[in-house]
Structure formats: C-alpha cells, structure tokens
Amino acid sequence: MNQKLLFIQPSCYDDNGVVIKKRTLHFVGLAFPLLAALTPADWKVEVCIELIEDVPFDTDADVIGIGGMGQSTRRGIDIAKAFRRRGKTVIMGGPMVTIAPHLAAPYCDSIVLGSAETVWLEVLEDLKRRRLRPTYHRDIESLSTPLPRFDVILGKRIGDFLPVQAARGCVHCCRFCTIYCIYRGRYFRRPVSEIIRDIRHVKSLGFRKFLLLDDNIMSDRDFMLGLCREIQKLDMRWMSQCVIDIGRDKELLAAASDSGCTLLSFGLESISRQSLEDINKGWAQPDQYAGLIETITAAGIDVASEMIVGVDSDTLESLRATIDFVASTRIVAPKFYLMTPIPGTDLFEEMQRQGRILTDDLYGMTSSTPVISHPAMTPEELGAIYWEIYDRLYTLRHILKRTMLHRYVLRAPSRYFFYLLVNLFYRYQIKRRIGPIVM
C-alpha cells in the first residue's frame, strides 16, 4: 500500500510572533525536490513552503518531514508539535538541527543530521518496518545526486529561476559560520557532468536562469573555471555566492561573466580588519573591497553583500563608516545581521563559556535582536545602530541610486528593475522592524 509523505519548509516568526508570509518565493530550496527524487515510487510526495502557502494540518500524509535554516527552526518545532498531537510521525533535519540536535529532538520522532540523502532510503525502509530510529547520520564522502523532482514545487508561486547544486562546504573556517561547523573546512564537488545535466533539465522546463548553490564556489578555482566553461555552452543566466577574491582573478572572472553569471553574493562581514580577525576571517582584505566590487561589476556581474553588526571590535563610528562604504559602492542588495551566536557553532560555545549570551530562548534568537553583551556598546545601542544602518541605506534615494540609477543599468534594465523590487520589499520589512529574509 502506498504511503504519503509531506515535506514542510517552515517560515519564520516576526518579532510579534506572527508567521511571515510572502506572495512569491524567488529563492527556492533544493532539499525537498532532491529527497523526492530519492523516494521510491510507492510513496506519494507533497511539499509545503509555508512562506507562500498555509500548512495543511488536516493532511492525510502518514509522515511529516520538516527542514529549514536558522530562525525557521523555531517555527518548525511548533509545526512538529502540532502534527505529533495529530498522531503523525515527524522527522526533522536541516543545518540548524544538524549543529544543535538537542533543540529539535524532543519534539519529533526522529532527526536526520547532515546530508539527508546519505541515509534517506534507510529512513524510509525503517518507517515501513515500524522501527524508526531517533537519529540518522552518515558522513558525506562524495557528492553525487539524482535529477531533482522539481514537479513537487513547479505549481507554486515561485520566481523565474530554479536551484542547481554545484558543491557543498567551504575551505575557510569562520567561527560564526554554520557551514564551517558542519563541514569543518571540507569542500565536496559534484561531477561537472551532473551539474550540466541538471542545468539542461532546468532549461527544458522553460527556465532561462538558475541559482547555482555552493557555499563558496571559489573553494576550488579549477573546478569553477571548468564548470563556467561548460555552462557557457548552454546560453543560461545564473547567480551564486563566493568570496570577493574572484575580483583578483581576471581569467576566472571573465569565465564567470561569459558563462552568464549576473549576480554574486559576498559575505563581506565587515570593513574593519580587526573585526574580520575577530571572526577568523583575517585572510580578507577590506581595504580592497571597493576596488574589487568595481572590478566585478564592470565585468558584468552585479554584487550583493552580507555584513555583520556587533563584532567585538565594532564601534558606532566604524559601523557608521559601513553605511558610507555600502552607499558609495552601490551594492545592489546589501543585507546586515547582528552578531548572533547560533547554537552549535564555535562562536556560541565560546560566548556561552564567557557568559555573554543574554537570552535563554535559544529557539528565538534572530539576526535583528541583540542577544550578546558587547565590550563597547549596550544591547540598546547595538540594536539602534543596526536599524540605523538599514534605515539610512534603505531610503528611496539610496534604493534608486543602486538600482534604476546605477551606472550600469542600461546593460540590463530588467535585472535592475528586479533589484528595485527586492529593495522595496526589504524596505517594507525594515519599516516593520523585520530583518530582510531571503526571497
């Protein structure tokens, strides 16, 4: 007899405890289409993305799989509780569950740690035999995956691109980073032939763009260079993330641009060298950021960024200088996060030992609420400068300068119009005092 499996990607709560909703989700996750592809045909698979649809608590599914990142874990736990009250079997996984399993284990029947595809068939077999174990984990040794089942999400309100996995992990060891905590400096590449197969499939579905999933695609220069040369043959457009050092590599930058790369997101973290050293990112050279951003943008690749507010060396003056830096470089989509010791990370363990964590609500930690004591600022000052950065950079004047009035707008007007819409949505969230979430 066929069984039914419902995967749920939970949303997050805002600061008032209300579940965040959107009309359209642009950045679609790959985990559930991949697990659906690994699930035998005698299972019926459905997917719910809570950000854009309601959770069907009255589902007839036998098993509920819940996975998400960061602060969505708290909402995921509440969903798990609701389904267990209804007698459903609940399994949880994802990065947060992997690095802090004790937070989720009490609220579900089983947890999957790390890369779920290494154990997924085993989980399903144990479910059928009614001998589900409380924990499943097998270290990833190589990365090779089947063609994802995008059919489980295509009928939903998603954007005009789909995700394709290139690799997982990162060679760097930033102490705040969940990726480092999971992979510990290891980097797992997929065969280039598999990646190209998946891109061709995305194109066959009518999409002309894709999101290349990779925690840092510059972890292996030769791999990235070879992949870009193969992508160039497909006449597609793509986005990804890596370190800003790509701006120093003329050959690699040209290959990425020629292959259709239109946007790269960089974790700049800070423009202060001391702050970067504080988080084990001393290899970065912030005094070169502005020049590298100009080089990358001139090559035809737009720049998004992520930065941290509240590293120990930060001051009100250095953070206000960050506002001027972002405004002058016209980064098309700047995002900021308060220094948050995510449970399970090296940073969390260190700050817990030092007694610097200001909350016992580990589920409720968000990147827009101060949760640590800072040597130079009170929590109130830290929260105030965080929102000051957002308020000043997300005025309509600044939004227009980095989108429709950008110096390169004429080379791709539709792209910059999309950035305008993204920025306006972020502005809307900021006005409600909700830190921008991934769209």
**Domains defined along the chain, listed by start:** 3-137 (3.40.50.2300)
pLDDT computed for residue 95 by the predictor:
84
> What are the pLDDT digits (tens) for 390-428?
999 999 999 999 999 999 999 999 999 999 999 999 999
Residues 87, 83: Cα–Cα separation, whole Å = 7
* Interacting residues of 250 by C-beta distance below 8 A, sequence separation 6+: none
Instruction: Please name the residue that has the structure tokens 């705040």.
Output: 176
Residues 7, 89: Cα–Cα separation, whole Å = 12
DSSP secondary structure letter of residue 87: T
Residues 284, 174: Cα–Cα separation, whole Å = 11
> What are the pLDDT digits (tens) for 22-73?
899 988 999 999 999 999 999 999 999 999 999 999 999 999 999 977 778 8
Residues 194, 203: Cα–Cα separation, whole Å = 14
Q: How large is the C-alpha radius of gyration of the chain? A: 21
Strand ranges of the sheet holding 302-309, from the earlier edge strand across to the other edge: 161-165, 209-213, 237-241, 261-269, 302-309, 333-338
Please, is 265 exposed, middle or buried when counting C-beta atoms within 10 Å of its C-beta (0-12, 13-18, 19+)? middle
Contact 303, 297 (CB under 8 A): yes
* CA dihedral for 359, 361, 366, 368, sign (positive or negative): negative
Query: Of the given ranges (36-50, 140-154, 167-181, 336-350), which has the lowest mean pLDDT?
Result: 167-181
Give the helix ranges, DSSP H, for 63-160. 72-85, 95-99, 120-128
Mean model confidence pLDDT for the chain:
92
Contact 332, 416 (CB under 8 A): yes
Residues 240, 221: Cα–Cα separation, whole Å = 15
Residues 213, 205: Cα–Cα separation, whole Å = 19
